[in-house]
Structure 1
Amino acid sequence: MTAPRIRPLDEAVVNRIAAGEVVLAPSSALKELLENSIDAQATSIDVACKEGGLKLLQITDNGVGIAKDDLAIVCERFTTSKLRKFEDLQHIASYGFRGEALASISHIAHVSLVTKTRDSPCAWKCRYEAGRLDLRTPEPQPVAGTDGTTLVVEDLFYNFPSRLHSLRSPAEEYAKIVDIVSKYAIHATHVGFTCKKYGTAANDIALRSGMSQKERVRAIYGSAVASQLLELDVEPHTDYGLLKCTGLITNVNYDNKKSTPPIFFINGRLVSCDPLRRAIAQTYSTYLPKGHKPFVFLSLELDTVNVDVNVHPTKQEVRFLFEDEIVDHVTQKIAQILANTDVSRTFLTQQLLLGPKRAATEDVAISTPRKLRPLPSLGQYKRPSEHKLVRTDYSQPTLTTYLSQKTSVDSVDNPTSRTQRAKVRLKSIFELKEEVEQAADNNLTEVFSKLTFIGVVDSLKRLMCFQHDVKLYIADYGALCYELFYQIGLAGFSNFGCLRLSQPVSIAELLLESGLTDQKDQVLEIFVEMRDMLKEYFSIEIDDDAQNPKIATLPLLVKGYEPDLSKLGLFLYRSGTKLDWEDEKKCLGGLLQQLALLYVPAAADNDSKIGEVLETTICPLLKKRLIPHAGLARDVVEVANLPGLYRVFERC
């Protein structure tokens, strides 16, 4: 067999590959464009989005603009005004430098811009396709305009369907865009920012130029954060190349259990720095109650010679010398500030209400002596043998608390809950609940009630590892989640919250996208006929269009956790074709089972992301809500136990 010849890739393929590395989502495209606007000395930046930035992403700034002579090559790869030779990287002080952002975006979207420099008599408008001027308008067109640049990105990923379908809902993608604008707005105090959905009058972010960082935090994150902020100013350390470090951190009284990822800017660049994040989390763990998270914003200026900015296509990461020393220096200062402010704490208190009998006799000085319980003997505190010691406590935080970064964005537009629970009097539901209770397995119940999550073994096979007492288990978390969400659905029957989609979606289109059209008419007929029952019992709203019914809401089983909507078409198809809609018990039980399958996390190749969901959401629910039955024993396998390992080592 002849070995295949090596050939150079076609230029279009090279550019599409590069675009996939630089532009991961609408928010990453926005980040690149925001940095371009700030580099252009803008003092005002306006962002407008449509459908989470996928349909339209518009950025308007009042910067220096782009010269007419440069418009022909502005979207070609490696065209930049920031560098002339490689050595310039050692002293780079701008956000962008590689000249890949606009080029990459133009290969996966339709790009147009209107720009005007201060010395130009008019503005110039251009359209770009695949890095070059659109053949339909090969020359810039003169138009009216103000100083600065307006760049419009339309139909992002229109020629990249795999990336397009892997994105989250428009509401969640828009939330990521707001998050990016928020972070840059806190850092760039000399720039005014606005951000809104295209076509709406109200701005989700509106900050004027010159507002202080505290005022910006208050406007974006609320007074609960801003009122607890402390200013941080770390002494320079020139031996390590640390020239300046300032920021805002919350004090020890900040009451927040929702994790807010720390915001780090290094030499003006928004980056992630895991060593610094972990060190700060460890520092705060000494001062904050269990489960409480701080708000942290840091801006570090390092000697540019020590910083390598060219390590990530999206400039999300940087590398710098003396990393450990700088991290220690910064966290020591944070610990010192927290220690100085830890002289007083604020606690919520509740007045003790006395019963009528005690209140009437409160002034009487005579009290009846109570019989004291005898103290336990010292023998009860005898230290157990080494091979019986449990190394972890299921009630304490684990290492993954500090190794993963939680970025929880709520894509629920209007989650609702009932102020008064509806009473369920259906015999079928009582029977289904009784079946769950009667099938309970006491041994598995004990295991799950005190489990400690260890980590994901294989996210494609949906295997996780957890510990109970001195034993280590591997479990199929897909099977566990299915049973868990079925029981949660059974317990919340007819009292679900409401997960509203950003806009109603055609059931027929969902079936078509999933390739499930063989029984489409039957599915549509079922959901139209049963829409009243679905709304009352399951919070599933279907409109009354019999020809093209649309689904608007889904039941919210767990607050803060959303199902994978890529499985919505399969959920509708199986619910319409696999259930016995004539039998009440089979119908309701089967629909709860299909709902549980919808909520089960999909197999993925990102262990860290699913590990975070399992640790923060699924495992706490397994401990509190799951009633395991004996059938789950085949999905939970003991792989090691401490006494057994000791016996093995003794024989060695």
Structure 2
Amino acid sequence: MAVVETQRPRIRPLDKTVVNRIAAGEIIIAPSNALKELLENSIDAGSSSIDITCKDGGLKLLQITDNGSGISKDDLPILCERFTTSKLTKFEDLNSIQTYGFRGEALASISHISHFSVVTKTKQDTCAWKCHYSEGKLVPSKPSVQSSDPKPIAGKDGTSIIVEDLFYNFPSRLRSLKSANEEYSKIVDVINRYAIHTENVGLTCKKFGTTSNDVIIRNNMSRKDRIRTIFGNSVANELLDLDFEPNLDIGLFKCYGNVTNSNYTNKKVIQPVFFINNRLVSHDPLKRAINQVYTNYLPRGHKAFVYLALEINPKNVDVNVHPTKREVRFLNEDEIIEHIVKQIEITLSQLDSTRSFMTQQVLPNAKRFRQDDFDAELDSVDSMYNKKTKSAPQSQQYKKPYEHKLVRTDFNQSTITSFISTNAAIDLSTINRVEVKLKSVLDLRKEVETRTNKNLTEVFSKHTYIGIVDYSRRLLCIQYDVKLFLIDYASICNEFFYQIALSDFSNFGKIKFSEPISIRSILQENIYNDETILRSNFKLQDPPSLETVLTNYVEMAEMYMEYFSIEIDNADPLDPKLISIPMLIRGYTPNLTKLAFLLFKMVARVNWDDEKMCLGGILRQIALFYIPATIPNSDDPDSTLDDAAERENLSDILDNLIFPLLKKKFLATENLVRDVVEIANLPGLYKVFERC
């Protein structure tokens, strides 16, 4: 039987048209890539004004007009040929490249996948010149026209490039693109990023057929004003200026930019803006390193705004590692990142000991916090150490559990919350931390350790947060091992905040008010105008007078400041002013409507005759102040839209900030055993369903 040999295909060079389209597909991935290349050319041309118009997300029309140096008529015939550029003459020039474009591929690639035309005029020309291109070559403007030479027309100095029907001959790429609105959003994002970095360049962008611009950046705007115009006041008002010292040993010539401080909280992710040697790039290692720094300053899930411009020794940078030039490689990458991150950490830590809040937050609706809250919270302090304890849930040690005792949870698998940044940390790293030597404070710390219940502490250190069950009664569920527990989170938070306050004694950060608060006014309005509050809510037979309370704050102002970061301006003894209160956890602000009651209780409910009881009592009152307030449940007839927002915010704080910290820092004490109730366990449920 004869064997038929199949002829193998021979290796042949690709047709130039195929080669050019493949190259175009690598360089121009979406309309935003085309816009980026054209925008860089306009900036390289020394433009001070650039106007952009788009239609259908840049697919039908992408026009960019600048007032730059223009293109010489003699250069127009080879304008769109591959590897034609004015930026390089030899390969070694890549070691010192300072311009955006340099390879001569952008215009060539765009001309292979669109209908491409140019109108340009230099200062020396008496008129503008218009020409059309297809696949890198000059072509007639119409089939009926014979000549493809540039045509003289009226025009201003500069260049206008018109890209029409992008990807018309690339149907697979068209199908892979997003909607027109999404592609337009990407174009606007590119423009915004260049607008932040490029000084003295005005930029506008609008959709074709509309009269209003979606982007308006004047050429005389400062960088901060540009950021304000693009991202709003919420970002611009919290910006920090960065200008780091160079480090010539690692090739870092300059590093400057802007980042937001710890007062800026926003869950909307703004991707960092990085420019390396004036080139917009993405750099994941630097991004991750900066995000890690901010986990210690922002609540979980909140992101900072970051703009950084690095100038690195050009000899150490390879700008030609990606077809779209979105990435670069450089020497001493780890050292440069470490240097930058360290400087940002220093800048943030110097500011993080103080956070500012508007004074107006303290006074409106203060009377909402009344009877129910105080009955619960005051009773919890009075009976804190008189509760009858029961045995805490025992931790189970076993070698090989039965199947029905296994917990269906794999902590190595990704969950929805794993895509949120790690939780913020307690402010335990204040610069120049004071060593506490007061015997009374050291004794209070030992008492906490003595009262620690190891089994209950283990429950909290290894728990899985489930969610809030009742906002008005302040109950939530956690899971430990194969058991489900219902806990009183107000009581747990009370002890937790007390331990934080005790740990940070004399080393608190500050929550600083934008304007000093009159202690007389806030006490008079919220407490002394209502006799019921004095005698019923506070359960005091002989409450101190307003003058007695004010005298305490005047005479003890130095102690309040040194031990508790409670800053008081006592220049007017009859009306002392409150400037700041202690900050226990970064990213968490207590309910400021309770401030008047804190100021009253720190005097009225504290034993000022004994040092240990006095200091411990003040710390207890601060802890109570930080406990989340009750909120009506969604099915409560009195629930409002504001309550819904508060419920969502509280759920996020407990889930992503407080309870993750409980795992790391909390010593559960004996008095909390009754506040943790087992409501279900997996073996028990298994038996129930087994009977069914």
**Shared topology, TM-score over 0.5?**
yes
Aligned with residue 398 of structure 1, among 403, 418, 433: 418
Q: Which residue of 1 aligns with 2:119?
A: 114
Report the CA distance between 1:211 and its aligned residue. 1.1
Structure 1, residues 104-134: CA drift from partner, whole Å, max 9, x if none? Answer: 0001000111000111111100011111011
Residue 63 of structure 2 corresponds to residue 58 of structure 1: yes
Aligned with residue 104 of structure 2, among 90, 99, 102: 99
Structure 1, residues 278-329: CA drift from partner, whole Å, max 9, x if none? Answer: 0000000011011110000000000000000010111000000000000000
Q: Which runs of 4+ in 1 moved over 4 A?
A: 346-352, 354-359, 365-372, 379-397, 399-402, 448-451, 468-471
Q: Which residue of 1 aligns with 2:511?
A: none
Q: Which residue of 1 aligns with 2:431?
A: none
Q: Assess if the C-alpha contact under 8 Å between 1:247 and 1:298 holds in 2.
A: yes
CA–CA separation in structure 2 for the residues paired with 1:369 and 1:156: 74
Q: Percent identity?
A: 55
Q: Which residue of 2 aligns with 1:262?
A: 272
Aligned with residue 335 of structure 1, among 328, 331, 345: 345
Residue identity opposite 1:98 in structure 2: R
Matches within 5 A, 1:591-610: none
Residue 171 of structure 2 corresponds to residue 161 of structure 1: yes
TM-score norm. by structure 2 comes to 0.55
Residue 202 of structure 2 corresponds to residue 192 of structure 1: yes
CA–CA separation in structure 1 for the residues paired with 2:321 and 2:7: 37
CA–CA separation in structure 2 for the residues paired with 1:160 and 1:375: 75
CA–CA separation in structure 2 for the residues paired with 1:301 and 1:356: 58
Aligned with residue 123 of structure 1, among 128, 132, 150: 128
Residue identity opposite 2:174 in structure 1: L
Q: Alignment partner of 1:398: what SS?
A: helix
Report the CA distance between 1:3 and its aligned residue. 2.4
Aligned with residue 316 of structure 1, among 323, 326, 331: 326
CA–CA separation in structure 2 for the residues paired with 1:156 and 1:58: 12
CA–CA separation in structure 2 for the residues paired with 1:355 and 1:449: 28
Q: Assess if the C-alpha contact under 8 Å between 1:82 and 1:96 holds in 2.
A: yes
Aligned with residue 88 of structure 2, among 74, 83, 93: 83
Q: Alignment partner of 2:253: what SS?
A: strand
Structure 1, residues 167-222: CA drift from partner, whole Å, max 9, x if none? Answer: 11111111111100000000002211011111211111111112111000001111
CA–CA separation in structure 1 for the residues paired with 2:350 and 2:316: 33
C-alpha RMSD over aligned residues: 3.3
Give the direction of change, closer, same or farther, for the CA distance of 1:470–1:180 in structure 2 (3 Å limit).
farther
CA–CA separation in structure 2 for the residues paired with 1:213 and 1:343: 27
Give the direction of change, closer, same or farther, for the CA distance of 1:356–1:79 in structure 2 (3 Å limit).
closer
CA–CA separation in structure 2 for the residues paired with 1:345 and 1:219: 25
CA–CA separation in structure 2 for the residues paired with 1:94 and 1:265: 13
Q: Which residue of 1 aligns with 2:313?
A: 303
Q: Which residue of 1 aligns with 2:289?
A: 279
Report the CA distance between 1:373 and its aligned residue. 3.6
Give the direction of change, closer, same or farther, for the CA distance of 1:355–1:267 in structure 2 (3 Å limit).
closer
Q: Which residue of 1 aligns with 2:499?
A: none
Give the direction of change, closer, same or farther, for the CA distance of 1:367–1:335 in structure 2 (3 Å limit).
closer
Larger Rg: 2
Structure 1, residues 494-528: CA drift from partner, whole Å, max 9, x if none? Answer: xxxxxxxxxxxxxxxxxxxxxxxxxxxxxxxxxxx
Residue 79 of structure 2 corresponds to residue 74 of structure 1: yes
Report the CA distance between 1:150 and its aligned residue. 0.4
Q: Which residue of 2 aligns with 1:236?
A: 246
Aligned with residue 44 of structure 1, among 44, 49, 55: 49
Q: Assess if the C-alpha contact under 8 Å between 1:66 and 1:116 holds in 2.
A: yes
Report the CA distance between 1:54 and its aligned residue. 0.6
Give the direction of change, closer, same or farther, for the CA distance of 1:385–1:308 in structure 2 (3 Å limit).
farther
Q: Which has the higher contact order (CA 8 A, sep 6+)?
A: 2
Q: Which residue of 2 aligns with 1:294?
A: 304
Residue identity opposite 1:241 in structure 2: G
Q: Alignment partner of 2:78: what SS?
A: coil
Q: Assess if the C-alpha contact under 8 Å between 1:109 and 1:153 holds in 2.
A: yes
Matches within 5 A, 1:155-234: 155-234=165-244
CA–CA separation in structure 1 for the residues paired with 2:60 and 2:390: 70
Q: Assess if the C-alpha contact under 8 Å between 2:71 and 2:121 holds in 1.
A: yes
Residue identity opposite 1:250 in structure 2: T
Matches within 5 A, 1:247-646: 247-346=257-356, 351=365, 353=367, 372-375=386-389, 380=393, 382=395, 391=411, 398=418
Q: Assess if the C-alpha contact under 8 Å between 2:227 and 2:235 holds in 1.
A: yes
Residue identity opposite 1:42 in structure 2: S
Q: Assess if the C-alpha contact under 8 Å between 1:390 and 1:469 holds in 2.
A: no
* Structure 1: 5+ residue stretches without partners: 403-447, 452-467, 472-619, 621-652
Give the direction of change, closer, same or farther, for the CA distance of 1:384–1:305 in structure 2 (3 Å limit).
farther
CA–CA separation in structure 2 for the residues paired with 1:386 and 1:338: 47
CA–CA separation in structure 2 for the residues paired with 1:22 and 1:358: 65
Give the direction of change, closer, same or farther, for the CA distance of 1:316–1:343 in structure 2 (3 Å limit).
same
Report the CA distance between 1:352 and its aligned residue. 5.1
Give the direction of change, closer, same or farther, for the CA distance of 1:14–1:395 in structure 2 (3 Å limit).
closer
CA–CA separation in structure 1 for the residues paired with 2:379 and 2:387: 22
Q: Assess if the C-alpha contact under 8 Å between 1:394 and 1:450 holds in 2.
A: no
CA–CA separation in structure 1 for the residues paired with 2:216 and 2:107: 26
CA–CA separation in structure 2 for the residues paired with 1:385 and 1:305: 61
